[in-house]
Chains A and B, each alone.
Chain A
Amino acid sequence: MEKTETTQPLIELINVTKTFKRGKQEVTILKGLDLKIYEGEFIMIMGKSGSGKTTLMNIIGFLDRISSGIYHFRGEDVSSLNENKKSDYRNAFFGFVFQQFFLIEALNVQQNVELPMVYKGVHQAKEKKAKAQHFLDLVGIGEKMKDKTTELSGGQQQRVAIARALVNDPLLIMADEPTGALDSETGKVIMDTLKQLNEEGKTIVMVTHDSDLTAYASRVIYMKDGCFEKEVTNV
């Protein structure tokens, strides 16, 4: 919430670019971004489709790498981290809610939600189950524990994805349009949950198209064609 220049930012991007190869052509999607995110912030990223929001989220979450520039995560240069370290950081610090949910179809709802705990090294089946149950209850689909993910509606899948993002008690929640597939009522429940988590101290970075939601954020960043167009800080 507060943003004092003296504290170390959780995330710091300096002149970051991202280029994709499209056939023989190179397309620059992120064009020299500077961004600092501090612990406890609730950041919303808005912008037109194709402006590079998801690409930015992927870079912040170590899912993709930058083409140039510098990315510091809690003061560490991310480019110096090896795959194992990045895996551990993803597992411990990040909770992802992907735009396309990215649930594993082979696993049922419970197993999907338990997976971050599996990779964290939680052994107790009871503990895993209890946590999965707790977070599925929180997003309102506690009764779907044993269901196949493919038999759920889009909104239900999204909520499974949210439960999975929360289950390891991450430092940061990266949510790419977490309410995109939800009706406004369920969307509000999710937003309230995120707000609650933010108030408990979690940093949240969220992409949305819904300008009605900007009120939840402490800071709103507008993107256009791979650049930050403007930034609004809510008081």
Chain B
Amino acid sequence: MIRNILMSTFLSLKAHKLRVFLTMLGIIIGIASVVTIAALGEGIRQQTISLADSTNSNEVKIQYIMPMSEDPTYYEESTFAFSRVDMKRVQKTTGVTSILPEYGEGMGMGSSIETISADFNYFGQQSSLQLTPYSEDHTILYGRNLTAADANQDVIVLSHDVFDYGIMIDNPEDMIGQAISLNGYMYQVVGIKTPYDYDNMSLTGGGEDYLTASSSIVPRSSYNELTKYKPIVGLKIKFDENTDRYAATEGIIQELGETYPDEQGTFEEDRSNEEMQQEMETYMAGIVNFLMAITAISLLVGGIGVMNIMYVSVTERKREIGIRRAIGAKPRTILFQFILEAAFITFIGGLLGLVSGYGIAVLAGSFMDLKPVLTMQTILLSTSVSVLTGLFFGIMPAVNAAKMDPIKAIYH
């Protein structure tokens, strides 16, 4: 029986080629218009999102903020810089996928004296260090001064000040031959300078003299290299999707605070991006609502088109239904035939509508420099609405006609 019905469905579709084509055309146009609009809309949406994405996603920036001064006219420049060690430590925090330094302006600029400051690290003891390029006029307490032969070597002569604040070590002489890190690069200590004689500080030369005198010495090449260094004033941290960035950020900030208990300032998350992101989201929501309205309208129009054409085509066939019933077709046999026909028409029509809708969207997108995006949601929504209306209005009049007395159906 099923085979017979399939066969007669096929025959009926074949016999009504034009009507099948027109019905399908209605569905194709309905779905295609919805798909075109939805795909273009989704394209616009995703383009905007990816624009927004480049500034946000699960990413935070942690900054060091100086404490508010009581005198509002006085603004103290932050001297704090994050070190590579900080970065490594943060990197180890669970949920962190990547970390990028944000550089500030270099230090020690705008002065005629050649000194710069660098992050100093000796087995976890951190400090910052004043550096000056190699010259002969330094007095050495332990080890040796640099020589011309040290050019291009990663060696350093430490100022004795380092041991006054910064590094806690019983016997500074033990530092000779040790490795320290400057801005994350390893240097070997070859000498330690005689402590600066503060009592005999030249009054004319002022601070300049003091600066050079209290600086540690590196070869010229290293110095030049280090002047290119810019302090890390912020850490851009990216978390994986599963991490609650707020909690994780909190943890990192707390850890930083514990690492630098003596710093006056605080570590804070930079929220300026977030505000921008929120603005973006409001804007996006507007676009999405607008698109949803348009899609809903086209869905409605498409649905009405499908409904109309299916309804008419079944109504026109009441005579045929009556005749089939007169020669022995049961109501359910008629129904089955109409379900199959409607399913076939709407399914093929839906498929073609989807393809052509996407094609039109791609074509239109190429003029607008836009990449249309076909989402599963669009596919499901557009096809289910037209297929369901198609099926409903393809079957509903047949339900009626199939139950009628044949002669009534024939002379409907």
Contacts and interface: CB of A to CB of B under 8 A. Distances in A.
Nearest to A64: B407
Contacts of B328: 87-88, 90-92, 116, 119-120, 168
- Which of B12, B320, B331, B405 counts the most chain A CB atoms within 10 A? B405
Interface in B280-331: 320, 323-331
Contact of A119 (B3, B11, B327, B410): B327
Contacts of B405: 63-65
Given A111-B11, A119-B328, A104 B333 contact: no
Interface in A66-100: 83-84, 87-88, 90-92, 96, 98
B4 interface: yes
Contact of B330 (A83, A96, A104, A105): A83
A56 to B, nearest CB: 12
A118 B330 contact: no
Interface string B1-16: 1011001100110011
A106 interface: yes
B326 to A, nearest CB: 6
Contact of A115 (B1, B324, B403, B408): B324
A129 B329 CA distance: 19
B329 A106 contact: no
Given A63-B406, A65-B405, A84 B12 contact: no
Given A106-B11, A106-B12, A106-B16, A58 B407 contact: yes
Nearest to B328: A91
A131 interface: no
Interface string B381-411: 0000000000000000000000101111010
B315 to A, nearest CB: 15
Contact residues of B: prevailing secondary structure: helix
A39 B296 CA distance: 64
A23 interface: no
A115 B12 contact: no
Contact of B326 (A83, A90, A120): A90
Contact of A102 (B11, B326, B403): B326
A115 B330 contact: no
A123 B330 contact: no
Nearest to B409: A63
A108 to B, nearest CB: 8
A96 B329 CA distance: 14
Contacts of A83: 330-331, 403
Interface residues of A, number: 31
A5 to B, nearest CB: 32
A64 B408 CA distance: 7
A205 to B, nearest CB: 15
A219 interface: no
Contacts of B324: 104, 115, 119
A111 B11 CA distance: 9
Contacts of A111: 11
Interface string A145-187: 0000000000000000000100010000000000000000000
Nearest to B5: A118
Contacts of A64: 405-408
Interface string A119-136: 111110000000000000
B320 A104 contact: yes
B330 A87 contact: yes
A116 B16 contact: no
A104 B323 contact: yes
A90 B327 contact: yes
Contacts of A115: 8, 324, 327
A123 B3 CA distance: 8
Given A64-B405, A65-B405, A106-B11, A123 B4 contact: yes
Nearest to A61: B326
Contacts of B330: 83-84, 87-88, 119
B320 to A, nearest CB: 6
A87 B331 CA distance: 8
A113 to B, nearest CB: 10
B3 A63 contact: no
A119 B407 contact: no
Contacts of A11: none
Contacts of B4: 118-119, 121-123
A138 B11 CA distance: 25
A83 B403 CA distance: 7
B331 A96 contact: no
A164 B323 CA distance: 12
B410 A102 contact: yes
B58 to A, nearest CB: 62
Contacts of B16: 106
Nearest to A92: B328
A144 to B, nearest CB: 17
A105 B14 CA distance: 12
B8 A118 contact: yes
Nearest to B13: A106
Given A58-B407, A63-B407, A123-B4, A106 B326 contact: no
A189 interface: no
Nearest first, the 4 A-B pairs at minimum CB distance are A91-B328, A106-B15, A119-B328, A63-B407
20 contacts: A58-B407, A64-B407, A87-B325, A88-B328, A90-B406, A91-B329, A92-B328, A102-B323, A106-B15, A107-B12, A115-B327, A118-B8, A119-B4, A119-B327, A119-B330, A119-B333, A120-B328, A122-B4, A123-B4, A164-B327
Interface of B: 1, 3-4, 7-8, 11-12, 15-16, 320, 323-333, 403, 405-408, 410
Given A118-B7, A118-B8, 14 more contacts: A63-B407, A83-B403, A87-B325, A87-B333, A88-B330, A90-B326, A90-B327, A92-B328, A102-B326, A104-B324, A105-B15, A107-B12, A115-B327, A121-B4
